[in-house]
Structure formats: C-alpha cells, structure tokens
Amino acid sequence: MQNAGIADLALNWRYLAFDVPPEKLRAALDGAKVMGFVGLNLTVPHKLLALEMLDVLDESAQIWGAVNTVRFEARDAQGAWRPVREFDSIPQQIRSHGFNTDADAITRAIREEVGMELSGAKVLVLGAGGAGRTAALKLASEKPREIFLVNRTVGKAEAVAGEIASRHPGLRAQVGYPPGQVDLVVNATSVGLKPEDGLPFDESQFRLSRANAVYDMIYRPAETALLKTAKSAGCRIANGLGMLLYQGAKALELWSGRPAPLEVMRRSLEKNIYG
C-alpha cells in the first residue's frame, strides 16, 4: 500500500518492515534519525512504548494515548521545525514527532463504508484491547447517544468506560449488552481471525437482528462469521480494510505533505491481501 502510494507520488522512497524487539525500540528510533529516515509507522506494542521516547507528540497522539506514525523533522535556517524530506542532506539535529492516524481512520471507515452517521447513534463495541479502547474513545467523541462495551475481561471494559466517563461526563457509556435495537456494532476483538472462530459475542445476550450495521476491524478473512451472519440478518457491513487504508493514507500525507493517492493504495492493499 505505502510503496504503491510512494510510487504514484513519484517519490524516491521505500517503505520497509523491520522487526524491532521492544527493548531495542529507543535504539531503532535513534538509528532512524541518524540514517535520515523520513518517517515510520509503529505497531503493537511499540505504539504505547514510543509515547515516552519521542521528542514531541502531536495532539492526536496525546488524545488517543498511542503513536502509530512518526515524522522526523529538523530546524530550517529560520529555526522552524520542518520535515526532513525538505532538506538536501541529513541535518545534524533531528527530532521525532509522533502522531496517531488510527483513531480518525476508524470513524472515517465507518462513515464511508457503512454509511453511518455517528452523532446520536447507539453503539456496541466488542473488545477493549488496544484497538477497542481507541475505537470506543473515538466513537465517544462523535457525540453518540449511548455506548455499550463488552469484553471477555470485564475489568478492561470497565476501565475504558471510566475513561469515557471522565472525558465525556454527559455520555452514557455502560459495560454490558444493550437492550433493544442498536445502530452499530463494532468488533474490535481478535475473534474471527481464525477460520474456526464463531461470533465475538454471547448469542444468548445479543442477536444481530437487533443491529442496523456491523463494522468488523478484521480484514483477513474478508468476511468473518460475524460479517456473514450480519449480512444474512440484513445489516449493512464492512470489514477492517478501510481502517487499515485510511490510517496508512494519513501517514503518507504527514510524511509527503501531499494528498495520498487513495485508490492506488486501496487497489494495492486488496491485491496484496486478497490476491
């Protein structure tokens, strides 16, 4: 996806994957600075560890408490911080600037691919791990009517509900299954990744006939048991590919300073993931 986007923008860059053990993350970030990297993405568990290691955090990283995108910057002749891509040679003093492009990608994908207006919606979020927490907090910021949180480890859902309550005192965020109809179900559990996986909720407590739309963060397989069942129940559905695409597109925009070629990136992602 990134290399297709980079090629379309005619940039002389490459996007590469590196396995970095958590205890070496600081050294890797320092090395990236020294080698003149334009930027990088971080994935679990580095998204949280990097919060303590980066020189400056964008508001997005501060609000969502995680960093998935880093841009390297240096001072220009006037002393202003500029992306290193704007310098002809690798500057002496470089700072790392951390961003979060995940949270906006979740709501963009839900809006554009499920066609759901989040303001005033009644939402059920399944899962309270890293992705579930970010999704719940981001959804809570969109002025929904009510949010229900369900997680295998109940204490984690309670912690997220507590965070929502302190950020949005007027909003009803409850742990447990919702009564009646819901506008949107978001699956942020890893249930569905394996072919033998069933539904990520307790069928004695909730049924998809009570949901209007279902967003599954999982994109491989393209259609999980959840999405298949939701489709049969008449729900609007989308898988997690859009979320992956939009966080990556925003990262490329932060690095390049130009609009990301979204359709080129989407086609590359689909080709790489689904063949």
CA quadruple 72, 76, 82, 83: dihedral, nearest 10: -50
Instruction: Please report whether residue 225 would count as binding ligand NAP according to CB under 6 A.
Output: no
Cβ neighbours of residue 154 closer than 8 Å, sequence gap 6 or more: 175
Q: What is the DSSP letter of 269?
A: H
- Contact between 252 and ligand NAP by CB under 6 A: the answer reads no
Query: From CA 51, how far away is CA 60, in angstroms rounded?
Result: 12
Q: Name the residue nearer to ligand NAP (CB basis): 28 or 131.
A: 131
Phi, psi of 19 (to 5 degrees): -85, 115
Residue 210 to residue 201: CA distance in whole angstroms: 13
* Binding flag, residue 244, ligand NAP (CB under 6 A): yes
Q: Residues 49 to 78: which contact ligand NAP by CB under 6 A?
A: none
The stretch near ligand NAP (CB under 6 A) out of 21-29, 32-40, 189-197, 256-264 is 189-197
Min. distance of Cβ 133 from ligand NAP in angstroms? 7
Contact, 111 vs 119, CB < 8 A? no
**Cβ proximity to ligand NAP, 164 vs 191, nearer residue:** 191
Please tell me whether residue 238 binds ligand NAP under the rule CB under 6 A. no
Q: Which residue lies nearer to ligand NAP by CB, 127 or 261?
A: 127
Q: Which of 4, 61, 191, 238 binds ligand NAP (CB under 6 A)?
A: 191
Q: Which residues are catalytic?
A: 47
Q: Does 108 bind ligand NAP (CB under 6 A)?
A: no
Select from 50, 188, 213, 249 the one that contacts ligand NAP (CB under 6 A): 188
Binding of ligand NAP by 151 (CB under 6 A): yes
CA 127/CA 157 separation, integer angstroms: 8
**Which residue's C-beta sits nearest to ligand NAP?**
129
Q: How many residues bind ligand NAP (CB under 6 A)?
A: 22
Residue 221 engages ligand NAP in binding (rule: CB under 6 A): no
CA distance 189 to 252: 27
The answer to whether 130 contacts ligand NAP (rule: CB under 6 A) is yes
132 counts as binding ligand NAP under rule CB under 6 A: yes
What's the chain's length in residues?
Answer: 275
Decide if residue 240 touches ligand NAP (CB under 6 A): yes
Two tokens, residue 74: 């240096």
Running DSSP on this structure, what letter comes out for residue 67?
A: -
Q: Does 246 bind ligand NAP (CB under 6 A)?
A: no
**Alpha-carbon separation of residue 29 from 26, 66, 231 (angstroms):** 5, 16, 44
* Residue 100 binds to ligand NAP (criterion: CB under 6 A): no
**Calpha distance 214→83 (Å, rounded):** 39
- Closest by CA position to 140, among listed 115, 166, 116, 158: 166
In DSSP terms, which residues pair with 185 in a beta bridge?
A: 124, 214
The minimum distance between CB 37 and ligand NAP, in angstroms, equals 22
- Residues near ligand NAP, by CB under 6 A: 44, 127-132, 151-153, 156, 188-191, 193, 217-219, 240, 243-244
